Structures are given as structure tokens and as C-alpha cells.
Chain A
Amino acid sequence: MKVSEIIDQLGLKVIAGEKGLDREISGAYVSDLLSDVMGNAREGQIWITLQVHQNVMAIASLKDLAAVILVKDLEANANTIQHSNEEQIPILSSSLSTFDIAGKLHALLADK
């Protein structure tokens, strides 16, 4: 499943990194601890987090993640958005809590 395919189904907004919407999703990882993501997330995963600073994109890029979903309508910092566009790794935004969006994404990926 591609990143573009989950946007409508999960009611996400594309904040940045539109050029990366064709990225293939291998799964997802949920964490707000950056070293946890650095150590344990895997290539192609969607990262669900409440962190909005630009180090999120540094990690997403280093780990070759498919996209980042920010929860609860949190707004990405300007330099986070810039980094997302440069790296072509999308930042998506959800109005839902981490638990709710993770549950929906899990169901969607398990269903495919």
C-alpha cells in the first residue's frame, strides 16, 4: 500500500513532502522517543508521533521511513516542513489521538 492510499481512508491532511506520496508502506511504528525510533523503526514504516521539531525528519530520512503522521492536529515547525519537502518524506496530520489513529492504520494495513 502506498502513502497516498491511506490519506483518504484515514482522513489525513498532507502537510508537506507531497513528492513522497508514492512511497510504499511496510508497516508502522509508534513512539515519541527519538532514540527508540532510531534504534527500532524499520525502513518503509509510517511513524506516528506528537513530536513536531525538525529532528523528526532527520530520523525519518536516516531510517528511510515512508511518512510521518502527527497526531491531534499538532503543527509541524517550519524547518520540519522544509526538511520534509527536501527529503520527499511526507508529513501527514490527523485530528485523532495516537491510540485512535494507530488503531485505524493497523486495521487498514492488516486488511490489505
Chain B
Amino acid sequence: MELDFSIEGGDFTQAGQASSRVKKVLKQLGVDAKCIKSIVIALYEAEVNVVAHAYKGQIHIQIDKDKIQTLITDEGPGIPDIAMAMTEGFSTASKKVREMGFGAGMGLPNIKKNTDELKIDSVVGQSTTVSMVNYF
């Protein structure tokens, strides 16, 4: 099964739409509850990252018998130092985003903790691609 979503940068009303839909689908498929919780955390954080940092993004999700693969591609500023971005507490979020309670430097660490495989590629000034895999 495949699911696709579009995200507009800066539109916080959209954050959570993909994760909410995926949560429902995985529940219907009878996926283990603990596994769903992890996927939902990782996907939500990824959505928020696109909204908070990028101009726009696409989410492509493929659900197989044994796993869920998520590919998030955005057009945005990119990440100059991915290792630094993965550090707990490091954030480049704007003041407005921080005031909303986001941008505490916990998003990428949350994604790392809640995925079985994570790959981040970025071209500064162009785009970032996040690939996540969770096994059921």
C-alpha cells in the first residue's frame, strides 16, 4: 500500500495530517501498538521539520507486510551539518517556532530513537531527504 502527502512550509495547521492518517491505516492493518506509536512519533517530527524549516515537501509512504518505509523530500535550506543537527538540544528554528513549543532540538533525536533505519541526505540551499524504515 502506498500513501502520499504534500506539505506547505510554514503551515502548522497541516502538521500531523500524515501521521494521523498513517496511524489509522496501521491500526486497521492490525500492526503492533508499540510499533505504531514509534512510527507516529517519527513521522510527526518529520512533518514538523518540513513545516518549520522547508518551503514545501512531499511524503511518500510504502507499507509492506513486514515494514513501513517513509521518504520525506523537501525543497528548503538544507542541513549544512547533519551530525550537529542530530545533537539533542541543537536547533535552528525561528523564534516564532520556538514560542509554539517546537524547535527544542528534540525532533531529529526523537526520529532516530523511533526508527529502525534512518538516512538523511541534504544539499545545502536546495533540499533535504529523510528516509525512515520501521519493521513491524
A residues near B (Cβ < 8 Å) are: 32-36, 38-39, 43, 49, 51, 53-55, 58-59, 61-63, 79
* C-alpha gap A34/B100 in the complex (Å): 8
Told that A55-B15, A61-B16 touch, could you supply 16 new A-B pairs with CB distance under 8 A? A33-B101, A34-B100, A35-B102, A35-B107, A38-B45, A39-B110, A39-B113, A53-B100, A54-B12, A55-B12, A55-B16, A58-B15, A59-B44, A62-B23, A62-B40, A79-B13
Report if B19 contacts A (CB, 8 A). yes
A interface, by DSSP: helix, strand, loop or mixed? helix
Pair A61/B44 contact, Cβ less than 8 Å:
no
Answer whether A62 and B16 are a contact pair too, CB < 8 Å, given A36-B106, A38-B41, A38-B45. Answer: yes
**B126 surroundings in chain A (CB, below 8 A):** none
Answer whether A39 and B41 are a contact pair too, CB < 8 Å, given A33-B104, A34-B100, A61-B20. Answer: yes
A53 to chain B, nearest CB (A): 6
* C-alpha gap A58/B13 in the complex (Å): 9
**A58 surroundings in chain B (CB, below 8 A):** 15-16, 20, 44
B8 to chain A, nearest CB (A): 15
B95 to chain A, nearest CB (A): 15
A56 to chain B, nearest CB (A): 8
Size of the B side of the interface (Cβ < 8 Å), in residues, is: 22
* C-alpha gap A9/B86 in the complex (Å): 43
B residues near A (Cβ < 8 Å) are: 12-13, 15-16, 19-20, 23, 37, 40-41, 44-45, 48, 100-102, 104, 106-107, 110, 113-114
Answer whether A35 and B45 are a contact pair too, CB < 8 Å, given A53-B100, A62-B23. Answer: yes
Which 7 pairs show the lowest CB-CB distances between chains A and B? A58-B16, A35-B106, A34-B101, A39-B110, A33-B104, A51-B101, A32-B101
**A51 surroundings in chain B (CB, below 8 A):** 100-101
**A55 surroundings in chain B (CB, below 8 A):** 12, 15-16, 100-102
* C-alpha gap A33/B107 in the complex (Å): 11
* C-alpha gap A53/B97 in the complex (Å): 12
Pair B101/A38 contact, Cβ less than 8 Å:
no
